[in-house]
Chain A
Amino acid sequence: MKLERAATALPRHGWQLLPLRFHRIDADSVVLTNLVGEHVFVTPDELSAVVDGTCTDQELLARLRAAHLIQVPGETLPAELLAIKLRTRMRRLPDSTGLHIFVVTLRCEHTCRYCQVSRQSAAKNEFDMTEQTARRALELAFRSPSPHLKIEFQGGEPLLNFPLVRWITAEANRMNEEHGKELAFVIATNLALLDEEILGFCAEEQIHISTSLDGPQDLHNGNRRRPGRDSWQQAVAGIRRVQERLGKDRVSALMTTTEASLDRAAEIIDTYAELGLRGVFLRPISPYGFALRGRGGANYDVDRWLEFYAAGLDQIVELNRQGVPMVEMYASIIAKKMLTNADPGYVDLTSPAGIGIGALVYNYDGDIYASDEGRMLAEMGDRTFRLGTVHDSSYADIMLSDALLNPLTESITLSAPMCATCAFEPYCGADPVFHHATMGDFTGHKALSAFCRRNMGVFTLLLRKMRDDRYFRDLLWRWAQ
Chain B
Amino acid sequence: MLKLIGRADASGLAGPVADDVWRVCLPENADSDGGGTDREGPAMSIACLLRDGQDAPPGYGLYLMAGHEAGNRLGMLGAARSTGSLVSSMPGPVLRLGPELAHLDAGDIIHVPDDGHRVAVLWKKSARHNALLLTEQCDNYCLMCSQPPKDRDDAWLFDRARKVISLLPQGARALGLTGGEPTLHADALIGLLEHCKRVAPWLSVHLLSNGRRFADPEFTRRYAAVGLADIMVGIPVYAPEPGLHDFIVQAAGAFEETVHGILNLASLGQAVEIRVVVQRHTVPVLPNLAAFIVRNLPFIAQVALMGLEMTGLARPNSPLVWADPADYQRELAEAVDILATAGIATRIYNHQLCVLDRRLWPYAVRSISDWKNDYLDICRTCSVRDACGGVFTTSGNRLSQHLRPIP
A405–B343 alpha-carbon span in the complex (Å):
38
Cβ of A58 under 8 Å from chain B: yes
Neighbouring A residues of B338 by C-beta, 8 Å: 477
Contact call B250/A477, Cβ cutoff below 8 A? no
Contact call B295/A341, Cβ cutoff below 8 A? yes
A38-B295, A75-B256 known; A8-B244 Cβ under 8 A? yes
- Please count the residue pairs between chain A and chain B whose beta carbons lie under 8 angstroms apart in the complex: 74
- A158 CB to closest chain B CB, in angstroms? 36
Query: Out of A8, A10, A77, A481, which one reaches B256, CB within 8 Å?
Result: A77
- B403 CB to closest chain A CB, in angstroms? 28
Cβ of B242 under 8 Å from chain A: yes
Contact call B141/A66, Cβ cutoff below 8 A? no
Contact call A8/B246, Cβ cutoff below 8 A? yes
Cβ of B318 under 8 Å from chain A: no
Cβ of A3 under 8 Å from chain B: yes
A10–B241 alpha-carbon span in the complex (Å):
12
Contact call B247/A66, Cβ cutoff below 8 A? no
A77–B240 alpha-carbon span in the complex (Å):
12
Neighbouring A residues of B239 by C-beta, 8 Å: 62, 66
- A472 CB to closest chain B CB, in angstroms? 13
Q: Is the interface of A mostly helix, strand, loop or mixed?
A: helix
A77–B211 alpha-carbon span in the complex (Å):
15
- Which residues of A, 65-108, contact B by the 8 Å Cβ criterion? 65-66, 72, 75-77, 80-81, 84-85
A72–B338 alpha-carbon span in the complex (Å):
27
Residue on B nearest A2 in the bound complex, by CB = B250
Cβ of B186 under 8 Å from chain A: no
Query: Out of A1, A5, A65, A340, which one reaches B295, CB within 8 Å?
Result: A340
Name which of B143, B255, B342 has the most chain A CB atoms within 10 A of its CB: B342
A7-B252, A63-B288 known; A474-B243 Cβ under 8 A? no
Cβ of A170 under 8 Å from chain B: no
Neighbouring B residues of A8 by C-beta, 8 Å: 242-244, 246-247, 252
Q: How many residues of B contact A (CB 8 A)?
A: 32
Contact call B246/A474, Cβ cutoff below 8 A? no
Neighbouring B residues of A478 by C-beta, 8 Å: 341
Query: Out of B244, B263, B294, B337, which one reaches A474, CB within 8 Å?
Result: B337
Neighbouring B residues of A76 by C-beta, 8 Å: 256
Contact with B along A6-19 (1 / 0, CB 8 A): 01111000000000
Cβ of B292 under 8 Å from chain A: yes
Cβ of B260 under 8 Å from chain A: yes
Neighbouring B residues of A7 by C-beta, 8 Å: 247, 252
A7–B239 alpha-carbon span in the complex (Å):
16
- B343 CB to closest chain A CB, in angstroms? 6
Contact call B242/A65, Cβ cutoff below 8 A? yes
- Which residues of B, 274-305, contact A by the 8 Å Cβ criterion? 284-285, 288-289, 292, 294-296, 298
Contact call B341/A481, Cβ cutoff below 8 A? yes
A66–B294 alpha-carbon span in the complex (Å):
12
- A82 CB to closest chain B CB, in angstroms? 9
- A172 CB to closest chain B CB, in angstroms? 32
Contact call A477/B342, Cβ cutoff below 8 A? yes
A8-B252, A38-B295, A481-B343 known; A3-B246 Cβ under 8 A? yes
Residue on B nearest A3 in the bound complex, by CB = B250
- B379 CB to closest chain A CB, in angstroms? 33
A80–B292 alpha-carbon span in the complex (Å):
14
- A66 CB to closest chain B CB, in angstroms? 4
Neighbouring A residues of B246 by C-beta, 8 Å: 3, 8
Cβ of B104 under 8 Å from chain A: no
Neighbouring B residues of A62 by C-beta, 8 Å: 239-241, 243-244, 285
Residue on B nearest A479 in the bound complex, by CB = B341
Contact call B341/A3, Cβ cutoff below 8 A? no
Contact call A65/B341, Cβ cutoff below 8 A? no
- A12 CB to closest chain B CB, in angstroms? 14
A232–B239 alpha-carbon span in the complex (Å):
55
Query: Out of A2, A63, A85, A340, which one reaches B141, CB within 8 Å?
Result: A2
Contact call B247/A65, Cβ cutoff below 8 A? no
Cβ of B66 under 8 Å from chain A: no
Neighbouring A residues of B260 by C-beta, 8 Å: 77, 80
Neighbouring B residues of A80 by C-beta, 8 Å: 260, 263
Contact call B250/A341, Cβ cutoff below 8 A? no
Residue on B nearest A9 in the bound complex, by CB = B243
Cβ of B1 under 8 Å from chain A: no
Cβ of B251 under 8 Å from chain A: yes
Q: What are 30 A-B interface contacts by the 8 Å CB criterion?
A: A1-B143, A3-B250, A3-B251, A5-B247, A7-B247, A8-B243, A8-B244, A8-B246, A8-B252, A10-B243, A38-B295, A58-B243, A61-B243, A62-B240, A62-B243, A65-B242, A66-B239, A66-B292, A75-B242, A77-B242, A77-B259, A84-B263, A340-B295, A340-B342, A341-B295, A474-B337, A474-B341, A477-B338, A478-B341, A481-B341
4 A-B pairs with least C-beta separation: A66-B240, A65-B241, A66-B241, A8-B247
Known: A2-B250, A3-B247. 12 other contacts (CB 8 A): A8-B243, A8-B252, A10-B243, A62-B285, A63-B288, A66-B239, A77-B255, A77-B259, A81-B296, A84-B296, A477-B341, A481-B342
Using a CB–CB cutoff of 8 Å, the interface residues on chain A facing chain B are 1-3, 5, 7-10, 38, 58-59, 61-63, 65-66, 72, 75-77, 80-81, 84-85, 339-341, 474, 477-478, 481
